[in-house]
Amino acid sequence: MDLVQSQGVTKLFEVQSHLYKHIFSYIDSMSVNCAIQLGIPDIIHNHGRPVTLSQLVSKLHIHPKKASYVQRLMRLLVQSGFFAKTKVHQNQEDEAAAEEEAYALTPSSSLVLKDNVTSLSPFALAMLDPVMVSPWHFLGDWLLGSRDDQLTPFEKAHGIGNLSK
């Protein structure tokens, strides 16, 4: 008997959503990694107020044709709570000026400001580095391997044996 027959479509949807959340969670991590690499939290902080997409793209020195990709990245980071979205007036002196979306720091993105003594930026970059992430691709094979398999997932990923022997 399958899940739909035993517990219904709603339960199936719940468990599928739970699984999808875990499968795609790497996207959140890698998006944070990208934002830190690009220095987006520092750009917003140094701007002194929320920054519009065009201002951000300009400060990142990204080709205008890639602006839509920066917007997608920022949309994902806003949705995950890493940044906040707000509205700002284009011309701050003119209250009738059109409002534009802008991005602001949140407590989470403030934790990775590079000038902050307690910045978690180096930690986040180190933990999301391919050197640290790639061994996870070998964990299943390592667990299924023989008892005598001495190479750890880290060693398998990087092609090195135990250097202490």
What pLDDT, on a 0 to 100 scale, did the predictor assign at position 54?
A: 93
Average pLDDT on 94-123 reads: 90
What pLDDT, on a 0 to 100 scale, did the predictor assign at position 94?
A: 58
Identify whether the C-beta of residue 56 lies closer than 8 Å to the C-beta of residue 43.
Answer: yes
- 65 & 35 share domain: yes
Query: How many independent structural domains does the chain possess?
Result: 2
66: domain CATH number is 1.10.10.10
Q: Alpha-carbon distance 163 to 155, whole Å?
A: 10
Give me the residue label for tokens 């398998």.
156
Among residues of the chain, what percentage have pLDDT more than 90?
Answer: 65
- 53 & 98 share domain: yes
- Cα three-residue angle 117-122-128, rounded to 5 degrees: 150
Helix (H) or strand (E) segment spanning residue 164: none
- 120 & 45 share domain: yes
Look at 121 and 13; give whichever has higher pLDDT: 121
- 26 & 102 share domain: yes
What's the one-letter identity of residue 109? S
pLDDT at 164 over 70: no
pLDDT at 106 over 70: yes
What pLDDT, on a 0 to 100 scale, did the predictor assign at position 142?
A: 87
> What's the pLDDT band for 95 if we cut at 50, 70, 90?
low
Q: Which two tokens stand for residue 42?
A: 């520092």
Q: pLDDT averaged over the chain?
A: 89
Helix (H) or strand (E) segment spanning residue 24: helix 9-38
DSSP state of 48: T
Domain of residue 13, residue span: 3-128
Work out the number of other CB atoms within 10 angstroms of the CB of residue 105: 21
User: Which residue intervals of 39-96 are DSSP H helices?
Assistant: 40-47, 53-60, 67-79
What pLDDT, on a 0 to 100 scale, did the predictor assign at position 56?
A: 96
pLDDT tens digit sequence for 45-63: 999 999 999 999 999 999 8
What pLDDT, on a 0 to 100 scale, did the predictor assign at position 122?
A: 95
Helix, strand or coil, per DSSP, at residue 141: helix
Helix, strand or coil, per DSSP, at residue 30: helix
Q: Alpha-carbon distance 40 to 61, whole Å?
A: 12
